[in-house]
Amino acid sequence: MKVANKEAQGTTSGSNNLIPIAVAAGDAPEIMSATLRVLVAAGAPLDFRQVTMGRDIFLAGTSSGIAEDSWAVLRECRALLKAPCSTPDEHGFKNLDVTLRKSLALFASVIPIRDYTLHGQIDVVVIRENEEDLYAGVEHRQTNDVAQCLKLITRSGCERVVRYAFEFAVANGRKCVTCLTKDNLMRQTDGLFLQVFEEIGNRYPHIQRQHLRVDEGLNLAATKPQELDVVVTPNMYGDLIANLLAAVTGTQSYVPSANFSQRFGCFEPLCDRSSTEDRENPAALLLSACMMLDYLQVSEVAERIRNAVLAAIEDGVIGGSMTAGEQAAAVVARLDKKPQHLEPYAETLAVQIPEIPGAGGPQQTKKLVGVDVFVEWHDTPEPLGDILVACQGDKLQLKMITNRGLRVWPQRHPETRLVDHWRCRFEGTNVDKQDLIDLLQRIKDKGIDFIKTEQLCLFDGKPGYTLGQGQ
């Protein structure tokens, strides 16, 4: 289906002064058509170029869900305006949105959440890291009983999104940036995010900053969201708090979002259509289009459309049983109106941060001191420990065995529930890679099924690994 009606297509062709943007109707051609109708009526200087992605592309055999010829169009454009695009649950397809964000290096997701009631005091911007964390989607089934998902956090990824958050706060007159992590439990990964937040925050002494554990942050979002200003956080926590804030404010159908690389922006509603009954409501896509216009520095048109949407919300002609086309007509009719009660707003989104190399931070001295060998074992830890002690070499000694992270050898609690997935930690001095290979050979010769290894290293003398629970 074409993403724009004939009026929109005719209005946006044949001018060298138009800004090329890609348009993906996805699973919601009706709200995309309504949005383009408003953009054209408001005089947005845009050249719409259709790209194809979503469920039908998956089922036609393209595993990314994005038509191959669409990538070239995206690279020719300044931005992508995207309606919700679903990923089929069957066949093990990877999420289309994650593929798009990672492929185009869209490192920061910016999600403004406001209360559109007449007494609303909520004005929060969630800035979510967009490429890493558990959403990197690196998963494996390792034993009959255990599956694993890797939580990947990089210093360079943290630096990009944290710098963006502080620069966004400066550009938009925001007063406080709040960081959410669970660093008390995940000291290496969330601990790195918090460390970068503190380091970069020190460069912005005029911006308040605070750190909250995720549970504290979610509680604040649910009970006192008006106390939050700008929130920066790793990928999954950002997903959770943004959707919680949308639910708390009752604005699931109204929340826009933007995803940024250094040179490109993707603009789309926060919530997909399956999460709301208000399926014909174009408000979130219209407000996403306004964010796109702000990013493209066409702010006068953005202001016109945004004011018209707010006026339509005040007049009760957005949402409900109206079709997307009827709601678009209501917005077009209000293009020269301003809201009477809801406060107009705009964001400075074209925030520039220094280019950050792929490997963040100064190079540190790395020293190998051991290995965690993960094995499948269907008995108690005591006989496993006896076998592995016999596998020790001159340089590597068995220090502990854990089960789901809890130490169960050399001592354990009888109440502990055990599964078939065991981490066996060997440590030593003057260790090299050949020592690890020789150790694995001895373990194999004993008939033990090892399933993965993780090297234990010191970085400038500090452990790059954590203790076992109870160690």
Which pLDDT score, from 0 to 100, does residue 275 have? 47
- Please name each of the domains of the chain with its CATH number: 1-107+254-348 (3.40.718.10), 117-250 (3.40.718.10), 366-463 (3.30.70.1570)
Count of H-run helices and E-run strands, the chain: 14, 18
- Report the C-alpha gap between 465 and 467 in whole angstroms: 7
Mean pLDDT within 394-405: 95
**What percentage of residues in the chain have a pLDDT greater than 90?**
75
Peptide bond before residue 410 is cis, with ω within 30 degrees of 0: yes
Find out whether 170 and 204 touch, Cβ atoms under 8 Å: yes
Those residues whose C-beta lies under 8 Å from the C-beta of residue 264, and which sit 6 or more positions away, are 74, 77, 78, 79, 80, 104, 106
- Report the C-alpha gap between 360 and 194 in whole angstroms: 15
15: confidence class by pLDDT, cuts 50, 70, 90: very low
Q: Is the pLDDT of residue 161 over 70?
A: yes
pTM (two decimals): 0.89
Mean pLDDT within 234-250: 95
Those residues whose C-beta lies under 8 Å from the C-beta of residue 392, and which sit 6 or more positions away, are 398, 426
Which pLDDT score, from 0 to 100, does residue 3 have? 43
Q: What is the dihedral of CA 283, 289, 295, 299, to 10 degrees?
A: -80
| CA nearest to 225, candidates 126, 347, 124 | 124
Find out whether 428 and 369 touch, Cβ atoms under 8 Å: yes
